[in-house]
Structure 1
Amino acid sequence: MNSKQKQTKDRERFLTAVLAIEKLIRSGDDCLIIAIDGRTGAGKTTIAKYLHGKFGGNLFHMDDFYLQSHQRTRERLQEVGGNVDYERFKREVLDVIERRDVVHYRPFNYHTMDFDAKYARDMVPKRVNIVEGTYCMNPYFGDPYDLKIFMDVEHQQQIENVIDREGTSELDDYIDKWIPKTDIYIERMGVEARCDLRIMYSKD
């Protein structure tokens, strides 16, 4: 699939999300928060970048809120949805957006296990705010979102997508740990049922 074909495919696949956001914009609300949650390898980042390119605004990634070393206790890692710093995300992002204030964005790099000063930045209030990543619909946050999108994918395609993205060296970790953790979170927290839209991954 060439670049033009991919753009056409993305436009078709994400049309329902685009129409829903356009409807929200027409409603006149000056601060919209869109959540994109779902299964591993289902295209959460892809749709987030697409929507950000179309509507602008601010884009936040749950992967930037990895647990710090002192938070990685056995109890925390066994908690459903507990392997991200949801307290910091609520405090530093969601609560600040709702106050229409500047977000002092501090990504945490899980490779170095430290805050990544290179990507730290102040994000001024924008009308459209997109939150992307698994665990962004943890009930801990309450219900701050104006639109909730669930990204889905069939299991075999999910495995292929993980290999394409991470290579085979990480595959066992995904099969044994990350995919099951995500699936348990989705089921226990009723994530799909709470979403307004469900978009299925399609490679072709």
Structure 2
Amino acid sequence: MHKKNIVSAGKPLAAADKVLILLHGRGGSAEDILGLADHLSVKDFALLAPQATNNSWYPYSFMAPVEQNEPWLSSALSLLEDLVKELKASGKKEENIFFGGFSQGACLTLEFVTRNAARYGGVIAFTGGLIGEKINPENYKGDFAGTPVFIGTSDPDMHVPVARVYASSNILRNMNAAVVEKVYPGMGHTISREEVLEANGVLEGWNGVME
């Protein structure tokens, strides 16, 4: 099971109005994903990056049957739920809590916020989709109330089919998220400069809409 191991950066939590929770990908680390902050508009943010046990949030593909990824998936979701509860208990408002992740971390990000939809500050998913062999709409509840969401991916991507990205975006839109999805031909399994610009739009309050 995942142990609570949160690496922090940016402004001290007590002094920050806004918080960005960053989730690393499979084989990555909290320190890796925090390095992304050098390119993001987060000077006024506290940054929190949970570290997955054995550097992986769940063992198999995000499109494997959910049972195969248990109990690790539920443990990861519980870790995030506890972290958000702690932030809210400390006085942080949901509309000032932001989420971001890459690859496996992006999938976990989308799964968590969609199971617990609310008016968050924003959601950034660098190559990810909702988790499961098939999307189960019964897992998802709440109302995003206009939360800006950016989902970017490559076409093709070796891990995340574009069709799953579109299907995930539609679920979030149906729950009143302001979703912008961008598909980049031949980008590869990475984060591009264009995606960073889109992410900064979310972080700077542009409602996730950039042309």
Whether TM exceeds 0.5 here: the answer is no
| TM-score bracket for this pair, using the shorter chain length | 0.3 to 0.5
Greater helix share, 1 or 2? 1
Length-normalised TM-score, structure 1: 0.38
Larger radius of gyration, structure 1 or 2? 1
